[in-house]
Structure 1
Amino acid sequence: MRVGGFRRRKPRLLSVVVPVYNVAEYVADSLHSILHQPLREVCAIEVVVVDDGSTDGSAEIVKEVAAKDPRVTLITQPNSGVSIARHTGIEATTGDLLTFVDPDDILPRDAWSSMVKSLRRTGSDFAVGSAERLTVVNGEERRYVTPLMRRNHTRTRLRCRIEDAPLMLADVFVWNKIFQRAFWTDNDITFPERTRYQDQVALTQAFLAAKTFDVLTDVVYDWRVRSDQSSATQKRAQVANLIERIDTKRQTVELVAGSGSGKLMRTLRTEILPIDMWEHFRAAVIPTTEDPDRYWSLLRDAVHEFWYDAGVPFEETTVPRGQRLMAWLVWQDRRDALADLITMIDEQGPGRAIEAFATREELPVGL
């Protein structure tokens, strides 16, 4: 294909970075799904696996795979966190294109072709596809697409700008994208260290830095929900988890504020920052929450900082009504009332519970 008088050649090499830490149960399947991808749009792949001080034999499994397939390179390092592991991997890559896979996930049969083909056509800085969450319940595999992922990927949008699609800031995952490697390195895209939510900051940087990106409807990633409850997103009741989430949101707000776009900031506060807060609202009132008084104080301060003090009351967000009501009770410092509401929702369902709660409360507009 000719663009600007030049024919875009087939990319020579796609680099795949895989950070590994104690995933012996999953890593062989993950690498198998990578190594068996069809190479219709690239000449070759290199897979850089960075073992971040695993103690469960993960590195040995990767060594066995690497011994059979020279495309796999294993780098070992003392445990330093996934961000540093990814940075180590990026520095070791040599490809024209760059992508990431988490070692407890798997790729669908043809994950990359549509994204690479789109980049060859448009010359955009990166391409992003949809993802399905994969769970196994009683031995039965179940798949679903999250509501925001579905909204963002209902139609193909080529040479897109973040101002034209601000909700894409909610696509905070690094693994459903392929980047021009030069774009990544030239813009110094960085994963914050020692946090479980590093993707949001790096991807916010990428969306803000991109001249254009391509949004595709294809499912390009299978996001496994681990049954062992070890995933970061399954540990909301820990104080450290809440602190890291708050820090990530704060860094994201600072990045978007630096863009000077009121449209992006409004979308961030009303549609993106609130997405996962309901899990922390629930965690704040369960018996197993770590240091509940401190957890509550941190949560209430965060609700003030990101919404009410910023002039965007949580009632103006687009999350479901029950979640807006939970946030309002946190803002009002009413922990017992929040616990009552959550119990009512669990027993009666959100609709009936909220109506019953509203009969005894004078709720603000928006609730």
Structure 2
Amino acid sequence: MKWPAKHAARRRGRREPMLGVVVPAYGVEHWLPEALDSLLSSSHRALDVVVVDDGSPDASGEIAEEYAARDDRVRVVHTDNGGLGAARNVGTALVRGDYLAFLDSDDVVPAAAYATLVGELERSGSDFATGSILRWEAPPPAGAGLHEPPWMHRLHRPAREGITAREHPEILGDVFAWNKVFRRSFWDGAGLAWPEGVRYEDQPTTTRAYLAGRFDVLPAVVYHWRIRTDGTSITQQRSSLQDLADRWETKRLSLAAVREYDDPSVSAVFLDRVLAGDLHRYFTGIPGCDDAWWELLVAGVLELWGERSLVHSGLPPVHRLVGWLVEQDRRSDAAAVMAWFARLDGPAPQEERDGVRLLGVPLEVLDPTGVDPDALAIRAHERA
């Protein structure tokens, strides 16, 4: 679909539009050079790069200054440590450009990525564009190497232009800040900013962007997301109480924005498929968790899904069952199911009862008496 551009496309021969890129840096001296090298090698040459040294305890600030001395497209600002959201906001206030992007300082941007995203926006006139990503893990057998997550592949195909959240509500599951380019006038006009003092700050802001504008969805890979294994990245700290509290807060903020949007179909998809999508990562922490973490897990699940239940969500079958057990505050049963599932080499066994496929959880793991049949059901398109 061709959406009439609010902003006339630039005529051939005019200057290359300026792209402002904000690069927060904290404790990334090992990865920052590769990130900045990839950025400055971009085929889109008109860049204004602001590196925000967020009170980094290592040499990240000095490395950034070395790049600024060699390339006049790079500027560095040094701040007290305020966290990722605050660093992004500082950089956004300083960076110049017709368009705005964010690069995390331990990742890599492919050479053609920004040219692809900016070129699409110049042609379409949309408010922002988002592309697919590759997860950059350790090579097998320790990791999966460089690969496109299947859910990102699905969300970004087919290509779409000038659409709204109503037309593709599942795209709200692409919560990342860094695989997008925003028209700067849209960013400012919509009053967008990153939450500060909380982790997982991407989702509330990208959710508001999807709800506020028209956007393009591209199948092109525009970002390489490094999955660190040294224990220092935010996504490796899910077992902490503060991590879970932050996750609930950002989910709460995102859901509030969707409810304010007031479209029942978007709300249903968001609650069942988007907001629930990462809960399985927390359910793996149930065996061995402490009392306070469990109580917070139960409270958050009941707050967000208590009126509907996770049995209706898009979680895989075993995690829907565990979600129901969490709702019922059945800690020992939830822990037993997750420990059993972790020991399996493949999909969970299944059984058929009265023509309905159900999870075949052994009786010594979970007595099905008193369990909602919907919590055990396997849908027609699913493996266990």
| TM-score category of the 2 structures, normalised to the smaller one | over 0.9
* Corresponding residue for residue 281 of structure 1: 283
- 8 Å CA contact 2:113–2:222 kept in 1: the answer is yes
1:176 aligns with 2:184: no
2:333 aligned to which of 337, 341, 365: 337
Q: Which range moved further: 347-356 or 128-137?
A: 347-356
- Structure 1 residue 352 and structure 2 residue 355: aligned? no
3-state secondary structure, aligned to 2:110: coil
Deviation at 1:141, TM superposition (A): 7.3
> Per-residue deviation at 1:77?
0.5
Q: What residue number does 2:191 align with? A: 188
Bigger mean CA deviation after superposition, 352-361 or 117-126: 352-361
More helix by share: 1
Shift in CA distance, 4/364, structure 1 to aligned 2, threshold 3 Å = closer
Aligned-residue offset at 1:336: 1.2
Identity of aligned residues (%): 36
Structure 1 counterpart of 2:34: 29
TM-score (norm 1): 0.92
**Matched residues in 1 for 2:373 and 2:333: separation?**
19
Q: Determine the C-alpha separation between the residues in 2 that align with 1:47 and 1:132.
A: 23
- The unaligned stretches of length 5 or more in structure 1 are none
| Map of 1:364 onto structure 2 | 372
In the TM superposition, residue 234 of structure 1 has moved relative to its aligned partner by: 1.2
Code of the aligned partner of 1:56:
D
Question: What is the CA RMSD across the aligned residues, in angstroms?
Answer: 2.0
Matched residues in 1 for 2:69 and 2:300: separation?
49
Of residues 152, 156, 160 in structure 1, which corresponds to 2:159?
156
**Displacement, 1:144?**
2.1
**1:132–1:219: 8 Å Cα contact kept in structure 2?**
yes
Aligned to 2:249: 247
Does the 8 Å CA contact 1:24/1:58 hold for their aligned counterparts? yes
Q: Which amino acid counterpart does residue 321 of structure 1 have in structure 2?
A: P
Query: Which 10-residue stretch deviates more, 223-232 or 344-353?
Result: 344-353
| Alignment correspondent of 1:326 | 322
Code of the residue aligned with 1:365 in structure 2: it is P
Q: How does 1:234-313 map to 2 (within 5 A)?
A: 234-286=236-288, 289=289, 292-308=290-306, 310=307, 312-313=308-309
> 352-361 or 178-187, which moves further after superposition?
352-361
Structure 2, unmatched stretches of 5+, are 351-358, 377-384
> Could you report, residue by residue, the CA deviation over 1:18-51 in whole angstroms, capped at 9, with x for unpaired residues?
0011100000000000000112xxx611111000
Q: CA deviation at 1:350?
A: 4.0
- Residues 141 and 67 of structure 1: CA distance in aligned 2, closer, same or farther (over 3 Å): farther
Question: Contact between 2:9 and 2:124, CA under 8 Å: does it hold in 1?
Answer: no
Aligned length: 356
Q: Distance in 2 between matches of 1:122 and 1:244?
A: 36
Corresponding residue for 2:20? 15
Give me the TM-score of the superposition, normalised by structure 2: 0.88
Q: What residue number does 1:88 align with?
A: 90
The question of 1:131 aligning with 2:136 is answered no
Shift in CA distance, 58/327, structure 1 to aligned 2, threshold 3 Å: same
Partners of 1:122 and 1:160 lie apart in 2 by: 11
Cα distance per residue 1:77-116 (max 9 Å; x no partner): 1111111111111111110011010000011231112211
| Cα offset, 1:352, TM superposition | 2.2
